[in-house]
Amino acid sequence: MLEQPYEYTARELVEPDWHRLPGFAGVTDEEWRSAQWQRAHCVKNVRQLRGVYGDLLDEAFYADVEADQAGRATMSLLLPPQMLNTMVPDARPSTAAMLADPVRRYMLPVASDRLPGDDASHPYAARDSLHEHEMWAVEGLTHRYPTKVLAELLSTCPQYCGHCTRMDLVGNSTPAVPKLKFELKPVDRQGAMLQYLRDTPGVRDVVVSGGDVANLPFKNLEAFVAGLLEIDSIRDIRLASKALMGLPQHWLQPEVVEGMGRLAATARSRGVSLAVHTHVNAAQSVTPLVAEAARALLGVGVRDVRNQGVLLDGVNATAGQLLDLCFALLDGASITPYYFYMCDMIPSAEHWRVSLATAQTLQHDLMGYLPGFATPRIVCDVPYVGKRWVHQVAEYDRERGISYWTKNYRTGIERTDEAALDRRYTYYDPIHTLSPEGRAWWAAHRSPQLVPAG
């Protein structure tokens, strides 16, 4: 018998032993399970990182992190112990193992990860690469698709991901990226969002995001979602929280579980689907605590917990890595794999991005292993278009890595634009993945004023 390209084996989830890390050697189970303890012991700088790993890691590694933070980093450091503990999960980490680790590669970027010089950023990379701010109906409410909106309730998260697509707004400023700030007070912003949704009955689906809703005091989140549930036209509500994986302790707090139970009961009585969407990129991040948090939400009546990962080179861009992740989510934690997004064209992200051709191959290679409802679609979020399945491309110049896309609806800023549906919209492969001819073409056409700072 010949082997399958992917051999499925059911795997038990494992909580890595945090006592192997010098800074967590004396931490009790009770402390580890406490959301407050986790938040108070997040790593926000190299000094604190050294406090966790001590001399397990070389000075050169700490200097590499520091150089990235001072240089190209678009996100500041913020790592809960839970998340750090999933890096090099089955050994005392060495520098080499940390450098190679998939979770480290996107959550704890180092300068030597990035491509050198101009190659670090695509010439068309941009802050707010999806132009969400241009489509704000009211501050923080992106109305891009006809029937759904994205409500950005806050601009912080319990963990910061190096590749964050909302790097323009989310998190603390870095030397490379001074962040935008919301102008309205949260209560006024949320009030304006609810009013817009009351006035716009064509919207039936609200993604409640940020940032990460786990950073809202639960009573504020509950008040906003309760407000949504009073609007008859809203039929789908999705709460976005990477913390379900990065800080599952938050979602396991009794007051949060009870509050989610109240919201789920109201949603059910009104025929509204209330789901939680999380963001897991590597199988090793799915631990028993993550599973416990997901099942606690399902247990109090949340309709589904789904995963939207991001396709990242060096993290999950092989079919085996993606399938391992999907099975860990589905078998181990009852989380439904849903989407993998191609990494957006933000500055200094070229070392993470993969070409459309790679994404298409991965989609092909994922098919047939998972149940259809849990087979994730790999999507490209095309600027001014929105999510397109990677095989929907209208035309693809493989040599120059330029793909052309069409769309079948007008975004919020095109309601009077007659040509919007006839236009073709572009997305770009990372130049370093192109053939020598393609790279030479870009060398001749790279426009310096289009190269973003950072």
CB of 64 to ligand SF4, least distance (A): 21
CB of 450 to ligand SF4, least distance (A): 24
In the bound state with ligand SF4, the residue whose beta carbon lies nearer, of 209 and 403, is 209
In the bound state with ligand SF4, the residue whose beta carbon lies nearer, of 164 and 370, is 164
CB of 164 to ligand SF4, least distance (A): 3
CB of 171 to ligand SF4, least distance (A): 6
In the bound state with ligand SF4, the residue whose beta carbon lies nearer, of 110 and 164, is 164
Is 131 strand, coil or helix?
Answer: coil
In the bound state with ligand SF4, the residue whose beta carbon lies nearer, of 157 and 239, is 157
CB of 78 to ligand SF4, least distance (A): 8
**Binding residues vs ligand SF4 (CB under 6 A):** 157, 160-161, 164, 166, 170, 210-212, 242, 279
In the bound state with ligand SF4, the residue whose beta carbon lies nearer, of 150 and 231, is 150
CB of 109 to ligand SF4, least distance (A): 12
CB of 45 to ligand SF4, least distance (A): 17
* CA separation, residue 117 to residues 122, 425, 453 (Å): 11, 27, 12
In the bound state with ligand SF4, the residue whose beta carbon lies nearer, of 171 and 401, is 171
CB of 344 to ligand SF4, least distance (A): 10
Q: Is 417 left (phi over 0), alpha (psi -120 to 50) or beta?
A: beta
In the bound state with ligand SF4, the residue whose beta carbon lies nearer, of 102 and 210, is 210
CB of 242 to ligand SF4, least distance (A): 4
In the bound state with ligand SF4, the residue whose beta carbon lies nearer, of 279 and 388, is 279
In the bound state with ligand SF4, the residue whose beta carbon lies nearer, of 172 and 220, is 172
